[in-house]
Structure 1
Amino acid sequence: MLLSQALDTLHSFSPDNLSTLSELLDPKLIEECLQDTGTVTLRKRRLPMELMVWSVVGMALFRNSPMSQVVNQLDIVLPGKRPFVAPSAVVQARQRLGVEPVKAVFEKTQALWRDKTPSPHWNGLTLLGVDGVVWRTPDTPENSQAFARTGTKTTTSDYPQLRMVCQMELTSHLVVSSAFDCISNSEVTLTAELIDKTPDHSLTIFDKGFYALGLLHRWQKTGEERHWMIPLKKGARYEVLRKISSGHELVELPISPQARTKWSDAPATMTARLITKMVNGKRVQILTSMTDPKRYPAADIVDLYAHRWEIELGYREMKQHLLHSQLTVRSKKPDTVKQELWGVLLAYNLLRFLMGQMAYSLKGVEPYQISFKGAAIYLISQLQMLPMVSPGNIPRVIGQIIGIAAAFVLPIRRERHYPRAVKRRPQKYAVRRPRKKNASQLN
């Protein structure tokens, strides 16, 4: 039985905790995405396009296995004279599949996940975070031509790199949208691609590196109640329109002519709310589009900014736990590199959705309180065995997944007692140091 067929049998099994898994993994959804992107199989192949989507997801789920083994391991090869397929056939099938179908599957599935996964709100707003991350690609001529390298006047990076910007729901860690391109593109440029995909009635928390008033103005004017929050830039100019209370002001910020040229709809000035608070002896200033002090209390806003670190933890889960700290992607051509990254986001959302269902089966547990590393190892092993389970036993297997949820609940997070710092990466081998010359050797 194929993996997609095994998952499709979940249509007949709909407990409250996992009623949407079949909707997410329905093969009909993948076929719909293939049709929408114009990707069709003209003749019968052993690796049809609808099943190759799962191979791209499997690249992330089974990071340490070669691609040909992933295809055979997931049992997505149609019957033929040989039980296995050649590695070259897998490469050709991925090239025929392209980037757009995998991207379309990601976008449709994340919408299903968010609609079916309950997420806490703050004053009627969904908490979202936006931040950037860098991926390395293999040093091939194609990747070197398509992607740039970071460096200084004297040195450059050893690998071509991509810059990715993601928008993440901060309680479930589900990736809502993403944009990535050559490392030479700035995070602000890529973030502009996420504006139209941002859900209404949401609050997006930005890092200080995203301070661009033209971007923030367009963000809040597109859609309904799309609010933002960001630290005030050091040395930023503003005029106080009204002082609401101590450390709480309504301000007007000028938008530079250069910014108005880049952002054609940007006005000369924009109004925002500035909140100042002392946190551990440090003065913190937060700028936000939530100008209504009655609906959005100032006492909660500064503390709310600490939730921005959830997206940093999400990137750590992708790179360290899901991909086993193998920071260079597998693919050797630009299109398959992008295809692989969409597969990573899709695989991460798949695991995070299951962990969300595990968390909500327990009382008082949020999805971010589930250990990603421990739960991911368990869930991947269960997905790997699912094709060999008879359809009648699949509800029992799914019930076991939900039943073991309590074993992956993390303890309460402790406050940081040491400053943040970049630490030296541990070395596998001892470093040889030069011997000190004594006086007799000098003579």
Structure 2
Amino acid sequence: MDQSVISRAVSVAGGRFAPGHLGELTQQVPFEMVDAVLEETCRTQRRVRALPSRVVVYLLLAGCLFAELGYTQVWHRVAAGLGGLPAAVPTASAMTQARRRLGPAPLRELFFLLRGPATGGARWRGLLVCAIDGTIMTVADSEANLAVYSRQRGGKNGPSGYPMLRLLVLVSCGTRTVIDAVFSPVSKGETTCAPALLASLHAGMILLADRNFGAGLLAAQIAGTRADFLIRVRSGNCSPKLPVLSRCGDGSWLSRFGGIPVRVIDAEITVTTSTGHATSGCRLITTLLDPARYPAPEIAALYRERWEVESAYFELKSTILGGRVLRARTPGGIDQEVYALLVTYQVLRTAIADAAGTVPGTDPDRASFTVALNAARDQVILAAGVLAGPTADLTGTIGRLVLASLMPGRRLRISPRVVKRAMSRYNARGKVDRATRKPTIAITILDAPLTPGDEP
């Protein structure tokens, strides 16, 4: 019988530091960077234990790649490709103690170093397009967590079964990389948390946000960063006062909101599919005041890019976590785990953006996040690509697999907005239509409303 012998060289750190790697993603989070944040946060070990601090950092990041596994099984995977090198076999208790010794500070500083828009972020008329939004994540139901993270209040079915935290992120829409993030107990609202992210805004950016962020004080704070914004606001009886100060030729008008000048765009959006059509209104406010340079129909179409932040949350909560509850049973462990998740997501997204950038004209939207995640997992198990080779390889194995599996250009599809996972199984009775359909979308800009001083 024919036989094949496959031999390969594995380059990792020496001694007890050998299991401290993240496969090819280690090049995005190199040893020197991890050692620097450990020294800055005073978490470098005083003596080299079986689990040095650097190894624990990589173990936490690998735990995000293998979110369905306990840390003991994660350890087996980071040690699997070491090619017979002697490696410790720590107990679950030892890993728990090591994570507590490390604390959340090194992961937080690591995220601060890696956050920011990747090269190739989408620009609209010279402005970097960003979006802000919040989501809710469930944490382990322990007494320690309940002291900080409360359950979400419910209706007749009672509060949520698990404590929850609110995560708020600022993403670059073109690459879905995280520019900044903040999280808090679910009892704090999105507009309360949002000011913590404003330091990451600057001139040359346009921020997209939904109706929850349509508050005058927050709009003024965003404008104070010199970044532009495009925010949807409520209409009807609950709409903010937006008096017509001056009319623009495209149907929009100039007004004031939160003490700053804004331009108001009333759009009527008609969505037509094979099953019929539906029309709804959308009122937008923006600091882009020049109608000649920024036409109202194009601004209304730009607002759809806000959904990129929802896609980023789907990748984080469904693709990486698989809808699971966060593991940690203490508030400090929750901080540590959330920052580890953000770092892991960011390096995966950066690897995708780097790969797309090597092929001019390739939209990062066509790259499969699932392919990148599974390729990264394989590289961890093989302990492959831990150290960069003698020649620069911007694509890498992960990038090549992503480029070989590019999805078709994004099609314009819609699906009914329905509850995917009801709080109670009794709420999900009946057949739910989740089919997607190809639509045509028509945007009509409505003229500014008449005011008492206008001629009839």
TM-score category by the smaller chain? 0.7 to 0.9
Name the amino acid aligned to 1:175: V
Q: Aligned pair 1:49/2:53, yes or no?
A: yes
Partner of 1:367: 364
Q: How does 1:304-323 map to 2 (within 5 A)?
A: 304-323=302-321
Find the counterpart in structure 2 of residue 156 from structure 1: 159
8 A contact 2:265–2:296 mirrored in 1: yes
Deviations 1:177-209 (A, max 9, x none): 110011111111111100112244111100111
Find the partner of 2:198 among 180, 195, 199: 195
Q: Give SS of 2:419's match.
A: coil
Paired residue type of 1:227 = D
Q: Does 1:230 align with 2:231?
A: yes
**1:142 counterpart residue number:** 144
Structure 1 residues 181 and 119, CA gap change in structure 2 (3 angstroms): same
8 A Cα contact 1:251 1:271, kept in partner: yes
Task: Select the residue among 266, 284, 304 that pairs with 1:276.
Answer: 266
Identity %: 26
Change (3 A) 1:2 1:247: same
Determine whether 1:29 maps to 2:33: yes
Q: SS at 2:245's partner residue?
A: strand
Please give the alpha-carbon distance, in whole angstroms, between the structure 1 residues aligned to 2:209 and 2:366. Answer: 22
Q: 1:247 to 1:378 in 2, by over 3 A?
A: same
> What is the Cα deviation at residue 363 of structure 1?
3.6
Pairing of 1:175-214 with structure 2 (within 5 A)? 175-214=178-217
Map of 2:255 onto structure 1: 251
Q: Deviation digits for residues 45-102 of structure 1, max 9, x if unmatched?
A: 1212122111111111011221123234223999999730011111111111111210
The match for 1:260 is: none
Higher relative contact order (CA 8 A, sep 6+): 2
CA separation of 1:199 and 1:52: change in aligned 2, threshold 3 A: farther
Q: Relative to structure 1, is the Cα distance of residues 371 and 425 closer, same or farther in structure 2, using a 3 angstrom cutoff?
A: farther
**Residues 1:299 and 2:297 are matched in the alignment:** yes
Alignment CA distance shift 1:3-1:56 (3 Å): farther
| SS at structure 2 position matched to 1:180 | strand
Q: Work out which of the residue numbers 56, 71, 74 in structure 1 matches 2:75.
A: 71
**Aligned residue identity for 1:308:** R
**TM-score, scaled to structure 2:** 0.79
Displacement of 1:387 in angstroms is 4.6
Tell me the matched-pair count.
Answer: 398
Match of 1:295, as an amino acid?
R
Q: Does 1:87 find its partner at 2:88?
A: no
Name the counterpart of 1:9: none
The residue that corresponds to 1:102 in the other structure is: 107
Shift in Å, 1:425: 6.2
> Secondary structure at 1:195's aligned position in 2?
helix
Q: 1:39 to 1:294 in 2, by over 3 A?
A: farther
Contact 1:149 1:159 in 2 (8 A): yes
1:276 and 1:284 in contact (8 A); partners too: yes
Q: CA deviation at 1:318?
A: 1.1
Aligned pairs for 1:423-442 within 5 A: 423=420
**Pairwise CA RMSD:** 3.3
CA distance in 2, matches of 1:38, 1:249: 55
In structure 2, C-alpha distance between the alignment counterparts of 1:424 and 1:77, rounded to whole Å: 39
Higher helix residue share: 1
Displacement of 1:402: 3.5
Deviates most, 69-78 or 82-91: 69-78
2:133 to 131, 135, 143: 131
For residues 72 and 88 of structure 1, the distance between their equivalents in structure 2, rounded to whole angstroms, comes to 15
Q: Quick check: 1:37–1:100 contact (8 Å CA) kept in 2?
A: yes
Structure 2: 5+ residue runs without aligned partners? 1-9, 15-23, 271-278, 430-456
Q: 1:104 and 1:160 mapped to 2: Cα distance?
A: 26
Q: 1:248 to 1:226 in 2, by over 3 A?
A: same
Alpha-carbon spacing, 1:4–1:65, altered in 2? closer, same or farther (3 Å) = farther
Kindly tell me: are residues 390 and 406 of structure 1, through their superposed partners in 2, closer, same or farther at Cα, counting changes over 3 Å? closer
Secondary structure of residue in 1 paired with 2:256: strand
Question: Which residue identity does 1:212 align to in structure 2?
Answer: A
Match of 1:120 in 2: 122
CA contact (8 A) 1:51 1:76 kept: no
User: Following TM superposition, by how much is the alpha carbon of 1:331 offset from its aligned partner in structure 2, in angstroms?
Assistant: 0.7
Aligned-partner Cα distance in 1 for 2:155–2:282 = 35
**SS of corresponding position for 1:44:** coil
CA drift of 1:284 comes to 2.2
- What is residue 453 of structure 2 aligned with on the other side? none
> Measured at CA, do residues 185 and 129 of structure 1 come closer, stay the same or move farther in structure 2, by a change above 3 Å?
same
AA matched with 1:58? A
Q: Is the 8 A contact 2:27 2:386 kept in 1?
A: no
Amino acid of the structure 1 residue aligned with 2:107: V
Residue 393 (structure 1) shift: 9.6
| Whole-angstrom CA distance in 1 between matches of 2:395 and 2:420 | 41
Superposition TM-score, scaled by structure 1 size: 0.81
- Distance in 1 between residues matched to 2:25 and 2:384, nearest whole Å: 16
